[in-house]
Structure 1
Amino acid sequence: MAEFICWESRRKDNSKYYAALHHSASVYNYDRMLAEFAKNGGNFFRTWICPWNLPIDFQDGFNNDRYQSDPAHFNPSAVRRLDHLVDLADSLDLYVMLTLGMGNFRSDNIGGVKTTDEFFAAEEAKTLYKNRLRYIVSRWGYSPHIAMWEFLNEVDNIQFNGREKPISSKAIVEWHTEMATYLKKIDPYKHIVTTSISHRDIPGLNDIEAIDINQKHIYKHTDLIPSEINAYSTKHKKPYVIGEFGYEWDWQQNFDDFAYEMELDFKRGLWYGLFSSTPILPMSWWWEYFQNRDMLPYYRGVRQLSDRMLLNGKGEFKPLALKAGRLEAYGVKCGEELYIYLYNPTNEVFSSSVEILDIIGNKKEIQSFDPLTLKYQAEELKDHQDGKILLKDLFVGSKKEKLYIIK
């Protein structure tokens, strides 16, 4: 049950419409954000180490009043903050994908280099990064609440970054292979290892043996989440995760102009993940915006159904073949229960039938589930014969969703 909580409030935020909101240090801090997330059913989040958040190997220039300048190679104030974050995650029973980032690799740092090309290729930069990994593992690797080490955020954007000549894909894959192999060697606790792309595949990156989970980020195309998860996990024989998603990526837009679409997209992404074979639900960006609009309670319904799936299926998660006309329809079988998610993407309200094409044996009950009220309602199970089920005369409102459990 995941959310992307990328960073705490900064001193200066360049969002055109939401800078004042994002500056609210008393609200957008780990202690408050994570407690609120956990209270509403969350148990997994992703966050960054970067120059303005948990800047463990930066000496100054933080754009964040939580950190103090210090000439030490590893900044004491940032180290203490990450200590606190790990303790906090433990106390709230939350698990974190910690994005390690490139760190302070520039030549003004000890052993650093000048360019991102050199970061991936120069031996002195690799040595610096390996020393950084050793420190991170020795300091925080003890915690089971660090679920995953993520090397880089959107490495394809690092690769291109407006350049006429992108960084070599071969160099990026070789770097990840070397670093992932090294990290596996020095981490006695065997944490999961991952990295991420934005939207451009890098040949070979998804097939590195020491990378356990592959991931990408999807914006403006949330409807692609199920097909992307299934295609990549099937092709590369590894779990696939959507580390970020959202209706809009541009924070210079006024989200209030399309707030309904933002909220609907937030909900759909969670359900698409729950009904797909991914170990972590897709993680929405814009954590401040959704918290400010009181969207976190929606996780409760998703969590409740997820827990029920896991309890009844004991790990079994079998996709169902459905025929639903103009409705989007996803179904899974967990143990002896069937779970159906329907979404009407049109601007019309119409009656539709949903046929479960699999032969699943005799079922006697059907319930609808409202994720807002957390209430179940008994429905009439019609046209059930020869182990197949046909649900008739289902009304799903325009841009609305419905959930059913059949048992």
Structure 2
Amino acid sequence: MARHLLLLVLMACIHAAEPIPPDVPVAPVDVPVFDRYQALTSAHDLDLPDGLDPWDPAQVRVDAEITAPDGVVRVQPCFWYVPQEAYEASSFSTEKKRDLAWERFRDAGPGSWCLRFAPDRPGLWRWRWRLTVTTAERTWTHPGGELTAIACAIPGRGVVALPAHGRGLITSDGAPFIPVGINCGWPTEMGSQVYDRWLTSLAAAGGNATRLWLVHYYGGTSLEWATSEVNAGYRGIGHYSNESAERLDRILAAAERRDIKVMLCLFTFGDFAWDWPKNPLATAAGGWLERPVEFFTDVKALTATRNLLRYLVARYGCSRSLWAWELWNEVDTMDGFDDGKATEWHREMARALKQLDAHHHLVTTDYRFTPPTTSCLSYALPDIDFAQLHTYWPLIPEAFQEEHARLDGFKKPIVIGEYGLHVYPESLAADPAGIHLHDGLWGGLFTGACGGGMAWWWDRYVEPRGLWGHCAGLSRFVAGESIADLAPAEARVAGGAAVYALAGPGRAWVWVEDHRAFTLDLSAVPVQLATYTIVADAPATSVTIAGDHTGEWQIDTIDTYDGVVLARRRVTGSARGLTVALAPYRHDVALKATRIATGTAFETPAKAETPFHDRVGELMKGKQ
């Protein structure tokens, strides 16, 4: 018999804001008490047969049966954990064509079974271990422990969820979650260390969301791949890389420290297209699948996927930085895509995640194209919580509107997971100021998505040009707000600008945007972005929100780059609409309209500084 150390790392956070109710049992004095995310570490020896593969739940499975204060029992899978220490090693970069220092990890101690769990309400929690050795046809339990969790006073730290009523997203403590962010899809050779820089910049601009892929390049964040010179843990399917797992731990921890939510993408089309010969599932790389599409139906592949989902849920499901499980990135662009087979695969794997995840994270996926080019049938599945759109086209707000209309039939919230001027990064050369980045953030919210669009090319464009600040304007605009009762509304302008509006009971938001057009040179290889121009006939001089807006309204005029209030005044609306005269503005402007009682007094805002807008203006003139 082997002595296996069971390591418990219980991540305790309470998403409820209320104190412990009087009917919740109070813990004895020797039971640990937790506030927010404090880590309880407890160890226990387990007697398990020799020779078991800890990566294979068909041989050995360790779960925790966790009893909540209300008596409901949840089952949380445990995972095999090997502690790691970081070091740097020099290796050749095929992209940069020279040797570079790479982030690496190596074992720092023996392996152990680990449980991570985050309580979601105050009170006394109890757990016990459930061990299953399939080869011995035996299941037994072992005593665990107790803790008391108390309320977390900081709102918005719960799991992202769908609201019972209205639009948008919330957290499980009831706070609105309006994502404002930029993709940070994969690391550089610096691995997790580069995320400290990227996420610090994103958070400094008020960003609260990003998207991360599990990939095999740049050292790897995916847990499985073929052998690699820069990841000793890559040994094919069924063996999870301790290097990648540690790197992912650190990235999610970096996001958690900055209150950034991460959409974690598990599979991407490139691994089933140009990288298929190196994919460990493929026969050419030592696997057993001849074609990528067999991944959706092969019994062995399906089992391997379910095992991977179990490990991911066990190891990362407790992280308060986890926004959603994203099953696929642009699944319809894999080689040999079959819509029916992909949909059935999504049905099974989304259901598996829902059954495994005791923390109840959202589940999503995405396609490169929308109907009718691709049916996107997975969005209709009950266990897919929200739809996504990806678009790479110069007329960004207009493209968002068009794509939204094609997804409305699914009756799901929509997140703009990716956008850009074109799929080629060379197309960004003519937009040094990040105007399309700005338009996608504001255009995402104002065309009906759950928040701002999340731009691509963070590593080759946003970071080197210092454009993270584009998140600041929208972040400040939505701070403390909810979009639950706001929906796209009819509005019109006097002048040549475009206008987008959201309205609800007693309030309305408006974005007035000068028509900005980016011209592509389609004859170039790769496609080049030739110019961008502002094509409005003239700036807007007034805006009217249609509908009955009788009464007095407070109108805040807001700079969209810095998110500061430029002016505040009182306007009287009528049954025919609310018309607001616009003072001269730069590039675009936003309004917040709030119905007020007659005679209500309000403070006149101080003169606002707009440093980021000033910098963007200089960039647009080509001075930087």
Map of 1:61 onto structure 2? 228
Normalising by structure 1, report the TM-score: 0.83
Q: Does 1:306 align with 2:478?
A: yes
In 1: Cα distance, 2:328 partner to 2:582 partner: 48
Q: Does 1:271 align with 2:442?
A: yes
Q: Secondary structure at the match of 1:4?
A: coil
Q: Does 1:120 align with 2:290?
A: no
Consecutive unaligned residues of structure 2, counting only runs of 5 or more, are: 1-179, 272-279, 516-534, 595-624
Contact kept, 8 Å, 2:233 with 2:242, in 1: the verdict is no
Q: Secondary structure at the match of 1:309?
A: coil
Q: Does 1:177 align with 2:347?
A: yes
Considering Cα pairs closer than 8 Å and 6+ residues apart, tell me whether 1 or 2 has the greater RCO. Answer: 1
Aligned partner of 1:46 among 211, 218, 230: 211
Map Cα deviations across residues 89-123 of structure 1 (whole Å, 9 max, x no partner): 22111111000016843347787423212111211
Q: Which has the higher strand share?
A: 2
In 2: Cα distance, 1:229 partner to 1:37 partner: 27
In 2: Cα distance, 1:116 partner to 1:26 partner: 28
Q: Does 1:293 align with 2:465?
A: yes
Q: Secondary structure at the match of 1:55?
A: coil
Q: Secondary structure at the match of 1:363?
A: strand
Q: Secondary structure at the match of 2:320?
A: coil
Aligned partner of 2:197 among 32, 50, 55: 32
Map of 2:374 onto structure 1? 201
Q: Secondary structure at the match of 1:137?
A: helix
In 2: Cα distance, 1:190 partner to 1:69 partner: 29
Q: Where in structure 2 are the equivalents of 1:60-99 lying within 5 Å? A: 60-61=227-228, 67-68=231-232, 71=235, 73-99=239-265
Amino acid at match of 2:538: V
Q: Does 1:236 align with 2:410?
A: yes
Q: Secondary structure at the match of 1:2?
A: coil
Q: Where in structure 2 are the equivalents of 1:2-401 lying within 5 Å? A: 2-10=181-189, 25=190, 29-52=194-217, 53-61=220-228, 67-68=231-232, 71=235, 73-101=239-267, 104-107=280-283, 112-158=288-334, 161=335, 166-199=336-369, 200-202=373-375, 204-220=377-393, 221-228=395-402, 230-232=404-406, 234-251=408-425, 253=426, 255-260=428-433, 263-288=434-459, 289-310=461-482, 315-324=484-493, 326-333=496-503, 336-345=506-515, 346-378=535-567, 384-386=573-575, 388-392=577-581, 395=584, 400-401=587-588
Contact kept, 8 Å, 1:229 with 1:241, in 2: the verdict is no
Contact kept, 8 Å, 1:359 with 1:387, in 2: the verdict is yes
Q: Secondary structure at the match of 2:481?
A: helix
Q: What is the number of residues matched between the two proteins?
A: 376
Contact kept, 8 Å, 1:47 with 1:97, in 2: the verdict is yes
Aligned partner of 1:406 among 587, 593, 609: 593
In 1: Cα distance, 2:538 partner to 2:418 partner: 31
In 2: Cα distance, 1:385 partner to 1:117 partner: 59
In 2: Cα distance, 1:369 partner to 1:218 partner: 28
Q: Which has the higher helix share?
A: 1
Aligned-pair CA distance for 1:405: 2.1
Amino acid at match of 2:435: L
In 2: Cα distance, 1:190 partner to 1:393 partner: 46
Taking a change above 3 Å as real, the CA distance of residues 264 and 212 of structure 1, as seen in their structure-2 partners, is: same
Percent identity of paired positions between Structure 1 and Structure 2: 24
In 2: Cα distance, 1:223 partner to 1:273 partner: 7
Contact kept, 8 Å, 2:547 with 2:575, in 1: the verdict is no
After superposing the two structures, state which structure 1 stretch, 290-299 or 330-339, moved more: 330-339
Amino acid at match of 1:402: V
Normalising by structure 2, report the TM-score: 0.56
Map of 2:526 onto structure 1? none
In 2: Cα distance, 1:26 partner to 1:238 partner: 35
In 2: Cα distance, 1:26 partner to 1:210 partner: 33
Map Cα deviations across residues 364-391 of structure 1 (whole Å, 9 max, x no partner): 4323211334431225656744473223
Q: Secondary structure at the match of 1:54?
A: coil
Aligned-pair CA distance for 1:350: 4.3
Aligned-pair CA distance for 1:69: 5.0
Contact kept, 8 Å, 2:365 with 2:387, in 1: the verdict is yes
Taking a change above 3 Å as real, the CA distance of residues 3 and 84 of structure 1, as seen in their structure-2 partners, is: same
In 2: Cα distance, 1:132 partner to 1:141 partner: 13
Amino acid at match of 2:491: L
Map of 1:14 onto structure 2? none
Contact kept, 8 Å, 1:156 with 1:202, in 2: the verdict is no
After superposing the two structures, state which structure 1 stretch, 104-113 or 296-305, moved more: 104-113
Taking a change above 3 Å as real, the CA distance of residues 333 and 236 of structure 1, as seen in their structure-2 partners, is: same
Map Cα deviations across residues 130-156 of structure 1 (whole Å, 9 max, x no partner): 111111111111223211111111011
Aligned-pair CA distance for 1:338: 2.4
In 1: Cα distance, 2:509 partner to 2:315 partner: 43
In 1: Cα distance, 2:387 partner to 2:503 partner: 25
Contact kept, 8 Å, 1:83 with 1:140, in 2: the verdict is yes
Map of 2:35 onto structure 1? none
In 1: Cα distance, 2:207 partner to 2:298 partner: 40
Contact kept, 8 Å, 1:270 with 1:282, in 2: the verdict is yes
Q: Greater CA radius of gyration, 1 or 2?
A: 2
In 2: Cα distance, 1:34 partner to 1:227 partner: 29
Amino acid at match of 1:272: G
Amino acid at match of 2:493: A
In 2: Cα distance, 1:227 partner to 1:2 partner: 20
Amino acid at match of 2:182: E
Map of 1:18 onto structure 2? none
In 1: Cα distance, 2:403 partner to 2:208 partner: 21
After superposing the two structures, state which structure 1 stretch, 376-385 or 129-138, moved more: 376-385
Contact kept, 8 Å, 1:111 with 1:125, in 2: the verdict is no
Deviating beyond 6 angstroms after TM superposition, the runs of 4 or more aligned structure 1 residues are 108-111
Q: Secondary structure at the match of 1:167?
A: coil
Q: Secondary structure at the match of 2:329?
A: coil
